Amino acid sequence: MVSGYRAFCLILVSAALARAEAFSYECDSLPEDSGWEVIQIVCDAERSIENGRLIEHVGLCEGNPPPGGQQTDYTRDLNEYIGADTFFLEWTVLADGDNSEIIWGAPSGVVLGGFTGVKWHFVVARDLARLIRDNALPIIFVEIDPDVAHTHRLELYGAELYVWYIDGVVVDSGVPEGAYPTHVSNNIKWRSKSGFLENLIAWDYIRYGEIPQDHSGDWDSSGVVDVDDFYFFAECIADRGNGPDV
């Protein structure tokens, strides 16, 4: 007979047959080779792939006064997710640029938006992250530990709720202005940029799509159920003394 706790853990494994609909860019190749459209690469910004991460080194443009140095911008449309009940965006990035660069949209930015309507505008610097939803709404600033990569995750539940996590901790939540994406607000853009200073940005991954349903097995929202999802099961077994008794 299987104990209640082991039965709970086995549910995690058997659920792995399900999949969530998501797009995942693991940053182990250049964006244009992985389904992204290059909007611009200003002043030959330096890009490389190192240890499975996209490294972008952006500085000032020779002969051009700041602000507005080197820059890279990429985009994809989100048409396939229009009308979805839920949506998530998750990315991991390390940015070493000073907080003073934030006002110039640097050093790293990720934006959900479109021509009009609902938007989500994130900028991450060395030890500060900023979220702008609308010019008429308060700007959200969150302090982060410097010189380490952080995982940011936005979860959207239609027009009812949004939640912003940093490294798994809720840092902001509330009622959004409306559902996202829509027919007039339906693309994702991200960038590395220099305003006045040189910045180094290391991108680990960018993922987005529908939020996995409970017991989907896709616990890291990568869009596939694979070995990376089984650490939840391993933790469940290892922590059997504190697990749920179901």
Decide if 40 contacts 70 (C-beta within 8 A): no
Q: pLDDT digit string (tens) for 195-232?
A: 999 999 999 999 999 998 764 555 555 556 665 555 44
Sign of CA dihedral 92, 39, 67, 54: positive
CB environment 75-95: b (16+ within 10 A), e (fewer): bbebeebbebebbbbbbbbbb
Is the model's pLDDT at 102 over the cut of 90?
Answer: yes
Q: pLDDT digit string (tens) for 109-161?
A: 999 998 888 999 999 999 999 999 998 899 999 999 999 999 999 999 999 99
Strand partners, 110: 122, 190
Decide if 115 contacts 229 (C-beta within 8 A): no
DSSP string, 29-63: S-GGGTT-EEEEEETT-EEEEETTEEEEEE-PPTT
Question: pTM score, two decimals?
Answer: 0.81
Per-residue confidence at 65, pLDDT binned at 50, 70, 90? confident
More confident residue, 240 or 65: 65
Is the model's pLDDT at 12 over the cut of 50?
Answer: no
User: Scanning the structure block, which residue is given the tokens 């650490």?
Assistant: 231
DSSP 101: G
First and final CA of the chain: distance in angstroms? Answer: 14
- Closest by CA position to 106, among listed 58, 41, 154, 48: 58
Phi and psi, residue 122, nearest 5°:
-105, 140
